[in-house]
Amino acid sequence: MERFRVVGGTSLRGEVSVVGAKNSALKLMAGALLAVGRTRLTNVPAILDVTIMAELLRRLGCVVDYDATSGVVEIDVPDRIGHRADYELVRALRASICVLGPLVARCGEAHVAIPGGDAIGSRGLDLHISGLETLGASVHVTHGYLIAAAPNGLHGGEIRLDFPSVGATENVLMAAVLAKGVTRVTNAAREPEIVDIAQFLAKMGATIEGAGSSVIEVQGVSALTPVSHQVVPDRIAAGTWAFAAATTEGDVEVVGGVAGHMGAALDLLTEAGSDVVLTERGFRVTGTGRRAAFDVATLPYPGFPTDLQPFALTYNAVAQGSAMVTENLFEARFRTVQELARLGADTRMDGHHVMLHGVRRLSGAPVEASDIRSGAALVIAGLVADGITTVSKAHHVDRGYAGFDEALRGLGADVTREPDEAPYI
């Protein structure tokens, strides 16, 4: 176990690069199961979750070559693959549930352990289950496993999601491409990662219309072929650096960031006083002086993403004025609040709302990450705190960011890693 040691008082300045989206790369790796042969993915982030997914695919019978330095993953899928994803790996990676759709489509059955991952609240699998049942699979839970079976294959159907769940949309999409007939998904998730997966599947030979809208239509095909595909840039990592620049009163160019994928977040930062400009390589955020606080509520895309909510908390903790942050998607995603309070933030929590009254500076103290984004947000909070802040459970951050501390040092921050049992100084 390691922790981050953060010395406060830094305004981040310079440039930082973002690569492929974690939330797309993992699903594309699962999607490779749909085609026999060698699929090649580029622009893959060098993060722990990719390593875990690679091992999961190996356990299913694939040969996986992962070069973290070049960002290339090659997956050789055999004619016959396994259908059981064991708890040993699944418990560490929520995204592992995305093998469910491809396995049912390819094998006619899937045994996938109920996944673990970030401690941000319940994320039910009801939408995944009902979607697959509409496609003709029988699904039940036993002994901690989600068991799906479609011995006669899948067929198309009309699926309306009660909520535009990204995971359920992905699983249904990857199952429907090999189903007989037409599948129509309404109230589908609209995230750029959904579009990326649809483009990947279309390259493989799938027929998909409407990805990026609330209605997606899939014409099933009998087989797909392996392809080479570049992962879409990570909008959450890009948003992290945008908030880091604004929070620390810095000036950061986010190379590789796609501003069009983060309209809600960048609009809020602009309205609150930060300068956001497009560049030839991405976009640049400048947070000169203390900016205004802003109210924000998380919503499905294209609304403000829940993954950036911890950064909105940190920003508002030191902004001018008061703000309300509302979490509409995950009930346990306010664990960051109690850690910010340890750093001296003035917060009041009521259900899924948090009121923050901005203070000029936070005060360094030991805190603990509960998930990927909370860990990164707490490191940024340490940059605007007097003295030293330590953020325990650095492994959470490693699951979503490649070389997070190294990138911060490149922007002028004094952030290092040390054993988690080291004394706090």
* Distance of alpha carbon 102 from alpha carbon 107, whole angstroms: 8
Q: Sheet harboring 207-209: ordered strands across? A: 158-160, 182-186, 215-219, 207-209
Which H helix or E strand runs over 169? Answer: helix 166-176
Asked whether residue 54 carries a pLDDT value surpassing 60, the answer given is yes
**What pLDDT score was predicted for residue 120?**
33
pLDDT in tens, 307-342: 999 999 999 999 999 999 999 987 667 889 999 999
Residue type, 229: H
118 catalytic? Reply is yes
60 - beta bridge partners? none
Q: Which of these CATH numbers, 2.40.128.20, 3.65.10.10, 3.10.25.10, 3.30.70.260, describes 2-15+234-419?
A: 3.65.10.10
**What pLDDT score was predicted for residue 118?**
38
pLDDT in tens, 124-144: 688 999 999 999 999 998 888
The pLDDT of 80-99, averaged and rounded, is 85
CB 19 within 8 A of CB 44: yes
What SS3 state is found at 326? strand
Query: Between the CA of residue 40 and those of 25, 67, 172, what are the distances in Å?
Result: 11, 11, 23
Please give the structure tokens belonging to residue 250.
């810095």
Is 24-221 in CATH node 1.20.210.10?
no
pLDDT in tens, 166-192: 999 999 999 999 999 999 999 999 999
Q: Which residues of 274-310 are buried (b: 16+ CB within 10 A; e: fewer)?
A: bebeeeeebbbbbbeeebebbebbbebbebbbbbbbb
CB 17 within 8 A of CB 234: no
**What pLDDT score was predicted for residue 116?**
53
pLDDT in tens, 3-42: 999 999 999 999 999 999 999 999 999 999 999 999 999 9
In the structure, what pLDDT confidence band is assigned to residue 375 with cuts at 50, 70 and 90? very high
Establish whether domains 2-15+234-419 and 24-221 are of one fold. yes
**Torsion over CA: 382, 388, 393, 398 (sign):** positive
The pLDDT of 57-79, averaged and rounded, is 97
Measured at the alpha carbon of residue 76, what is the angle toward residues 73 and 77, in degrees to the nearest 5? 125
Residues in the chain, total: 425
**What pLDDT score was predicted for residue 119?**
40
CB atoms within 10 A of CB 263: 13
How buried is residue 68: exposed, middle or buried, by Cβ count under 10 Å (0-12/13-18/19+)? middle
Which H helix or E strand runs over 216? Answer: strand 215-219
CB 396 within 8 A of CB 373: no
256 - beta bridge partners? none
Of 65, 67, 76, 118, which one is the catalytic site residue? Answer: 118
For residue 302, is the peptide bond before it cis, meaning its omega torsion is within 30 degrees of 0? yes
Q: What is the mean pLDDT of the chain?
A: 94
pLDDT in tens, 250-271: 999 999 999 999 999 999 999 9
**What pLDDT score was predicted for residue 423?**
73
Please give the structure tokens belonging to residue 192.
């750029």
Indicate the DSSP class of residue 343: T
238 vs 141 pLDDT, higher one:
238
The pLDDT of 291-300, averaged and rounded, is 96
The pLDDT of 362-370, averaged and rounded, is 96
**What pLDDT score was predicted for residue 425?**
62
How buried is residue 99: exposed, middle or buried, by Cβ count under 10 Å (0-12/13-18/19+)? buried
294 - beta bridge partners? none
Query: Between the CA of residue 326 and those of 209, 235, 350, 378, what are the distances in Å?
Result: 33, 21, 10, 19
Please give the structure tokens belonging to residue 79.
């004619």
Residues in contact with 398: Cβ distance below 8 Å, sequence separation at least 6, in sequence order: 47, 48, 404
Domain boundaries, the chain: 2-15+234-419, 24-221
pTM: 0.94
- Which residues of 320-398 form beta strands (DSSP E)? 322-326, 346-350, 353-357, 362-363, 366-368, 385-386, 388-392
CA atoms within 13 A on the CB side of 144: 9
CB atoms within 10 A of CB 351: 9
pLDDT in tens, 217-228: 999 999 999 999
